[in-house]
Chains A and B, each alone.
Chain A
């Protein structure tokens, strides 16, 4: 029996562990599948991490190291090279590694911090052959930054997610030529700063409303056919264009890895593909919490750490039996606002609600209402799906609220 088991030793898992320890929990185990803590941060050797949290621009491994040191200082126990195979609703974790074999641990509380995976090529049904040379951007990042190998020299990137943008620059710095970044949507899903620093600064063309329609090559990729898409995202035949290349990188979305959450009967949101949670990041199963990219995909690791602190602290309260009285205020959205986290508010305390919009909107106001009463209204010059937004609600503003409604209104 453990007080707290945290599944995943990336930024979310480490930050949650530290917050729980800071709240007085001593009997903690972090389970990490890789050979080191830090998760995907270890392969993110570019800088830009920690601006919000530490006021400095760190690389991924540097950011991870700050947390890893803290974990050591607090004597928090962790197991590396260990894969969790199953999690039950009553919080029994089954895991395996080479030393212990397959083992089970029962926990008073569990924090899900497994992160996310990249959407794979198979899911896109692109026509053509299946040669070598097609990788998700994160896999390519692992080859280049962790293994020291270059997956190709002439590159097309499909999708303008942040990893794709980062890899456009990285491949260029390694001497590869990036011919185009194609984005199906009329806007990029990546951060504005990455478009500037990774594409514009290197003269890499961003082809909005374009997609890859055919893959060519037998052994190794020889080229791709791209095409412009119309308003309904269907390729326009006469715009087909062949680009010779030996590599196609995909950055077409991230999917929270919730197989274990589902095994534990945790309710999953069809929009975020992560758990439905309250302000404490507690899931529908009491004592199981979720944070980081397994809950919803974040743009910045700083926000992952912040969210994990909430989960870690709340897990400590759960273990100590010191949770305050429960409310039940659902948080709903109008569709222009695609989702919020949390989706439900169960305790009376200050709450920051994070949300994403479903399209690019300019000069709008974000309204939070309860029935006819406007609780908050916040003006925004521009909102985009690629940038997460937030609104903080004060404890007092939640008094006598039955339901919260987030909407976007033109000005």
Chain B
């Protein structure tokens, strides 16, 4: 019997688990995939929004501003890279200028600090590579960037270090009320918990339906992205937005905390909650719109492209509700969900307390998690001292990103352990560089097989049946 079961190990589930792990509670996180951060958390714009987008008075506005305020501390405690690079909403005509003025007013109402309108000259000084067509911009100095899966892995790792449990490949398909709470079942397993928090992303409406709550719907909105080489990472320093207008939402151009350049997303509503396929139309759309902001896009420097699904709720706002005692929805968490996530966790914690969950702080609680970037941030002397203790840190496995065997072993051994090739990638950046794993994946598979105690050909890319190799060769071992 758990005190709290959290359905979904995305950034909202992860932040909530971490917030609750501070208290004397038995917590479990149920995740349908083989790893954490596999839904909308895996593929989004990686932005901590300043908070001028959402409508005044909405939950989105409130939790965005509060979340953005909390984020630097959360990232520091969790050892996650956070960069306060500032953002710009760029306007190309008078219609855009009107929108930018509205955004300024809205931002002020939402309590966003430091907003200002820049004219062309000032804009050019701040971002020399911006298109000459840009006439003005809204500058939000508090806009920041963060790596969403790094944040989520760290939050869940920290929650687990503080006692929370993670059950992977646990797709909740039935929820029944019991005397003390709820019984949550997958096809093969079940857990009972007094309180349930539904953080199931695009599936959160389906999960709510399991307790009879049909008050909202969530549909997937596809967002495709193109990621460029680190050589392009300094093309712009701010996150560059376009104005939302009749012509559509526009796309952003942003450096990432790891030094790449991210272009996207497209915005296409759909029904299929599993369809993360990229499209030719999507590429064309991104390229055309990106060109509007920065002129020529160095597409020859593309590292990869991918697609994420935002969980768009039917109410227009975040849906954080309690349809039944002990059951809380955190649904429709689309943008600015990442920015708001620490505040959503705080909000849910308050709701739980109001519903009678006793929150007693644990003495053993430790909010600090050693950063997964710790090794690369060490001085030469510190690195060499560590290599002497543990020679695995002297061996580079991923040449493109300079990732050592020691760092990969860390990812395989600490909470939440990577158990597949993509899991290693998200935790260490190995395979994320120019050769996309061409050189290092055969070695990483070796480490995975050894650590998991499985044969080489049973190692997967991303859990399930995503095997990398299918058989031994004729003369195989």
Do residues B394 and A129 form an inter-chain contact, with CB atoms below 8 A?
no
Is residue A313 within 8 Å, beta carbon to beta carbon, of the partner chain? no
**A141 nearest CB across to chain B (Å):** 10
Given A83-B399, A132-B460, A151-B468, check contact A118 B384 (CB 8 Å): no
Q: Which residues of B contact A246 (CB under 8 A)?
A: 470
Is residue A147 within 8 Å, beta carbon to beta carbon, of the partner chain? yes
Q: Which residues of B contact A85 (CB under 8 A)?
A: 396, 402
Is residue B438 within 8 Å, beta carbon to beta carbon, of the partner chain? yes
Do residues A148 and B473 form an inter-chain contact, with CB atoms below 8 A?
yes
Question: What's the A-B contact tally at a CB cutoff of 8 Å?
Answer: 146
Do residues B442 and A118 form an inter-chain contact, with CB atoms below 8 A?
no
Do residues B472 and A148 form an inter-chain contact, with CB atoms below 8 A?
yes
Given A129-B277, A131-B461, A139-B438, check contact A122 B394 (CB 8 Å): no
Q: Which residues of B contact A150 (CB under 8 A)?
A: 469-473
Chain A residues 115 to 136 lying within 8 A of chain B, measured CB to CB, are: 117-118, 120-123, 125, 127-132, 135-136
Given A120-B435, A125-B283, A174-B474, check contact A33 B468 (CB 8 Å): no
Is residue A146 within 8 Å, beta carbon to beta carbon, of the partner chain? yes
| Alpha-carbon distance A157/B90, docked complex (angstroms) | 43
| Alpha-carbon distance A291/B61, docked complex (angstroms) | 59
Which of A138, A144, A149, A246 lies at the interface centre, i.e. has the most chain B CB atoms within 10 A of its CB? A149
Is residue A202 within 8 Å, beta carbon to beta carbon, of the partner chain? no
Q: Which residues of B contact A101 (CB under 8 A)?
A: 383-384, 387-388, 394
Chain A residues 199 to 227 lying within 8 A of chain B, measured CB to CB, are: 213-215, 218-220
Do residues B394 and A149 form an inter-chain contact, with CB atoms below 8 A?
no
| Alpha-carbon distance A151/B476, docked complex (angstroms) | 13
Q: Which secondary structure dominates where chain A touches chain B?
A: mixed
Do residues B473 and A130 form an inter-chain contact, with CB atoms below 8 A?
no
Do residues A118 and B435 form an inter-chain contact, with CB atoms below 8 A?
yes
Do residues B396 and A123 form an inter-chain contact, with CB atoms below 8 A?
no
Chain B residues 413 to 439 lying within 8 A of chain A, measured CB to CB, are: 434-439
Binds A, one of B161-169, B232-240, B302-310: B302-310
| Alpha-carbon distance A246/B465, docked complex (angstroms) | 12
Is residue B475 within 8 Å, beta carbon to beta carbon, of the partner chain? yes
**B103 nearest CB across to chain A (Å):** 32
Do residues A219 and B466 form an inter-chain contact, with CB atoms below 8 A?
yes
Do residues A144 and B303 form an inter-chain contact, with CB atoms below 8 A?
no
Bitwise interface map of B from 373 to 387 toward A, beta carbon under 8 Å scored 1, else 0: 000000010011001
| Alpha-carbon distance A152/B471, docked complex (angstroms) | 8
Do residues A152 and B438 form an inter-chain contact, with CB atoms below 8 A?
no
Do residues B394 and A143 form an inter-chain contact, with CB atoms below 8 A?
no
Do residues B396 and A96 form an inter-chain contact, with CB atoms below 8 A?
yes
Interface size on A, residues (CB 8 A): 49
Is residue B467 within 8 Å, beta carbon to beta carbon, of the partner chain? yes
Is residue A192 within 8 Å, beta carbon to beta carbon, of the partner chain? no
Q: Which residues of B contact A151 (CB under 8 A)?
A: 468-470
**A6 nearest CB across to chain B (Å):** 17
Do residues A148 and B476 form an inter-chain contact, with CB atoms below 8 A?
yes
Q: Residue on B with the closest CB to A94?
A: B380
Is residue A400 within 8 Å, beta carbon to beta carbon, of the partner chain? no
Is residue B248 within 8 Å, beta carbon to beta carbon, of the partner chain? no
Q: Which residues of A contact B475 (CB under 8 A)?
A: 148
Is residue A153 within 8 Å, beta carbon to beta carbon, of the partner chain? yes
**A24 nearest CB across to chain B (Å):** 33
Is residue B129 within 8 Å, beta carbon to beta carbon, of the partner chain? no
- Other-chain contact of B395, A97, A130, A132 (Cβ < 8 Å): A97
| Alpha-carbon distance A96/B383, docked complex (angstroms) | 10
**B306 nearest CB across to chain A (Å):** 7
Is residue B291 within 8 Å, beta carbon to beta carbon, of the partner chain? no
Chain A residues 74 to 127 lying within 8 A of chain B, measured CB to CB, are: 81, 83, 85, 96-102, 117-118, 120-123, 125, 127
30 sample A-B contacts, Cβ–Cβ < 8 Å, listed by A number? A33-B399, A81-B395, A85-B402, A96-B395, A96-B396, A97-B394, A100-B394, A102-B380, A102-B384, A120-B434, A122-B227, A125-B278, A125-B302, A125-B305, A127-B279, A129-B277, A131-B461, A131-B466, A135-B438, A136-B438, A148-B472, A148-B475, A148-B476, A148-B477, A149-B473, A150-B472, A151-B468, A151-B469, A219-B462, A219-B465
Query: Which residues of B does A touch, CB under 8 Å?
Result: 226-227, 274, 276-280, 282-283, 299-300, 302-306, 380, 383-384, 387-388, 391-392, 394-396, 399, 402, 404, 434-439, 441-442, 446, 456-457, 460-477
